[in-house]
Amino acid sequence: MAHDPITQSVLALLREKDPQVAEHIAQEARRQATTIELIASENHVSAAVMHTMGTCLTNKYAEGYPGARYYGGCVHHDAIESLAIERAKQMFGCRFANVQPHSGAQANQAAMMAMMEPGDAFCSLVLKDGGHLSHGMKINFSGRFFRPFHYPLHYAKDHPEHERIDYDAVRRVCMEVRPRMLLCGYSAYPRVIDFARFRQIADECGAILMADVAHIAGLIVAGVHPSPFPHAHVVTTTTHKTLRGPRGGLILCNDEEIAKKIDKAVFPGAQGGPLMHVIAAKAVAFGECLSPGFKAYGKQVLKNASALASALASCGYRCTTGGTDNHLMLVDLRTRSEHLSGADAEKWLESAGIVCNKNGIPDDPRPPRVTSGVRLGTPAVTTRGLREEHMGMIAAWIDRVLSAGLANDGSIGDVAAAVRREVSALCEQFPLPA
């Protein structure tokens, strides 16, 4: 966003006040402007969203909720937060929204605290199969204060639903455990979630259904993925992935009693003063999500993801589950070479201006710091305006770089530099929002 005049004015001020920070921001602006962002959990916000976070709203403490603050001087903050709440409810077609969580993990923490007591059992998908650390990782609050039990995917390679959610197994685990909560929604799962099926299982075993839609929230709002409502009792999400807003969290529900418990769990249960400058940016982003153009954006995200998965398959790479229904794909690198790891692929691709993250694949034999796969997503490149025809170019660049790395003949540096120049030229044609 180096071409953004407001960013330039901020940098001009910082160069006088703190040249070291100014230089790092300038370099990061150049990095984002000249690289292809394929991390599925990242996006490029509009200038309006970005600069709302840099306003005087950051000066104010506003503990409490609109109309019930513990500090004076909150009249405008009440109006802004109320606007964010109303827009969130309109986006998801629900009755209640809490826009205060600082992150998706804190939204999950508050929702779990509201719905469970310490030591209660819940069921979720394990992290290594596509879940999230706040879905029961032992060293996370979710695994320390509650008792996680995990349902599996279909592991049999000859099964038609290989690497997809095994709904029969979900039911078996839940009927055995009788959890207080059943959790669905994932960090690295490329297929549509059957929320109605999950609710049926939750009702049968007497569980509360919680849907963490952090990754697919924007697709839900755009109408290209089924909604968790009216099936889920509680819905949590981040606001910065496919919703294309500031970094933060959001909790939604339709039940007034649950909403009251959630409000108490967020404040004072999990955090103190809300970040009003971020809540204002959420309101701006939600307004953008409600615009007609956002539906077109969501549709293009899916088209680009499908095109990228197909192009990678043509280059000899296997996407888990055989492809994708949403914005992301998990690429099993072992089909290209048993010697290729996610850690190597991430490093080599970044040197070529293609940013992604190493990621475990279902039943991955390698440790999390190495992995056998990478996770790729199309929200950010779609924001730039790239379309299906560009996904073939990206897949070809990925294959060129990884092939050079595998050759181990010293060519990786030259190939990465050449691809880096081509990537930069494409980015010039499709600049970041300003």
Q: Is 63 a catalytic residue?
A: yes
Per-residue pLDDT band at 2 (split at 50, 70, 90): low
∠ CA 306-312-316 to the nearest 5 degrees? 140
Q: Which of 241, 244, 318, 336 is catalytic?
A: 241
pLDDT over 50 (residue 368): yes
Per-residue pLDDT band at 3 (split at 50, 70, 90): low
pLDDT (tens digit, 9 = 90+) per residue, 288-334?
999 999 999 999 999 999 999 999 999 999 999 999 999 999 999 99
Q: Is 212 a catalytic residue?
A: yes
Q: Which of 7, 35, 52, 238 is catalytic?
A: 238
Q: Mean pLDDT score of the chain, rounded to an integer?
A: 96
Looking at the chain, which residues constitute the CATH 3.40.640.10 domain(s)?
56-289
Alpha-carbon gap, residue 204 to 242, rounded angstroms: 32
Q: Which of 42, 63, 194, 388 is catalytic?
A: 63
Q: Which of 61, 197, 295, 388 is catalytic?
A: 61
pLDDT over 90 (residue 8): no
CATH architecture of 294-429: Alpha-Beta Complex (3.90)
Please give the backbone phi and psi of residue 323, each rounded to the nearest 5 degrees, phi first.
155, -145
For domain 56-289, give the fold.
Answer: Aspartate Aminotransferase; domain 2 (3.40.640)
Average pLDDT over residues 217-224: 98
Q: What is the pTM of this model?
A: 0.96
Secondary structure of the chain in HEC code, one letter for each residue: CCCCHHHHHHHHHHHHHCHHHHHHHHHHHHHHHHCEECCCCCCCCCHHHHHHCCCHHHHCCCCEECCEECCCCCHHHHHHHHHHHHHHHHHHCCCEEECCCCCHHHHHHHHHHHHCCCCCEEEEECHHHCCCHHHCCCCCHHHHCCEEEEECECCCCCCCCCCCECHHHHHHHHHHHCCCEEEECCCCCCCCCCHHHHHHHHHHHCCEEEEECCCCHHHHHCCCCCCCCCCCCEEEEECCCCCCCCCCEEEEECCHHHHHHHHHHHHHHHCCCCCHHHHHHHHHHHHHHCCHHHHHHHHHHHHHHHHHHHHHHHCCCEEHHHCCCCCEEEEEHHHCCCCCCHHHHHHHHHHCCEECEEECCCCCCCCCCCCCEEEEECHHHHHHCCCHHHHHHHHHHHHHHHHHHHHCCCCHHHHHHHHHHHHHHHHHHCCCCC
User: What pLDDT sits at residue 1?
Assistant: 46
Average pLDDT over residues 7-31: 92
Per-residue pLDDT band at 9 (split at 50, 70, 90): confident
pLDDT over 90 (residue 217): yes
Average pLDDT over residues 60-79: 97
Please give the backbone phi and psi of residue 97, each rounded to the nearest 5 degrees, phi first.
-145, 140
Average pLDDT over residues 142-146: 95
Q: Is 61 a catalytic residue?
A: yes
Average pLDDT over residues 33-47: 97
Looking at the chain, which residues constitute the CATH 3.90.1150.10 domain(s)?
294-429
The Cβ of residue 159 has, within 10 Å, a number of other Cβ atoms equal to 12
Average pLDDT over residues 245-265: 98
Percent of the chain with pLDDT over 70: 99
Per-residue pLDDT band at 5 (split at 50, 70, 90): confident
pLDDT over 90 (residue 18): yes
Q: Which of 191, 247, 336, 420 is catalytic?
A: 247
